[in-house]
Amino acid sequence: MNCPYCDSNNVRKFSLVYEDGTSRGKSEGFSDNAHYESEHFSQTPLAKRCSPPEAPEPSAIFFLISFLVSVYAAFKGGFFMGGFWWGVGVFVSSLVILIFLWGVLLGKSKKNRYDSEYMKWEKSWVCLKCGKDFQID
Ligand SMILES: [Zn+2]
């Protein structure tokens, strides 16, 4: 296989570059009667560039928005239905519903994006001569 830019055959797959240039591990030892354990992670700049996409995580802002909307609903709904405990009930139920709905919707869209990025990463190669990267199906 040759690089589409410079026709060099010095090309490597992203996943290999990543594995080759990334080291993580634990070291343990004793010093001055103290036991120490340290985790180390090191990565070459090229391995960093060839890293796989990060797995999606729920973002805090959506929990915050859910919370604020629920507080608003609690005041509005509780006032409308006439009572503090109605407000609390509205607050709890709208918070649960919002977090659930957003979790499902966002989780799905993030997962789809992650999957497509991951598939792209799996098909990515880097040329060690000219430094360009490219995808091969
Ligand atoms: Zn090249």
- The structure's pTM equals 0.62
The domain tally of the chain equals 1
Task: Tell whether 64 is covered by a domain.
Answer: yes
Band of pLDDT at residue 132, cut at 50, 70 and 90: very high
Task: Tell whether 5 is covered by a domain.
Answer: no
Least confident segment among 57-66, 112-121, 122-131: 57-66
| Ligand 1: centre distance to CA 47 (Å) | 17
Band of pLDDT at residue 56, cut at 50, 70 and 90: confident
Dist. CA 131–CA 129, nearest whole Å:
6
Task: Tell whether 113 is covered by a domain.
Answer: yes
Task: Tell whether 4 is covered by a domain.
Answer: no
Band of pLDDT at residue 90, cut at 50, 70 and 90: confident
Residue 123: name the closest of 2, 14, 9 by CA: 14
Residue 42: name the closest of 18, 19, 23 by CA: 23
| Ligand 1: centre distance to CA 17 (Å) | 15
Task: Tell whether 41 is covered by a domain.
Answer: yes
Task: Tell whether 114 is covered by a domain.
Answer: yes
Full residue range of the structural domain in which residue 47 is found: 11-135
| Ligand 1: centre distance to CA 58 (Å) | 38
User: What is the overall mean pLDDT for the chain?
Assistant: 87
Task: Tell whether 2 is covered by a domain.
Answer: no
Q: Give yes or no for residue 61 having a pLDDT over 90.
A: no
Band of pLDDT at residue 137, cut at 50, 70 and 90: confident
| Ligand 1: centre distance to CA 2 (Å) | 8
Task: Tell whether 75 is covered by a domain.
Answer: yes
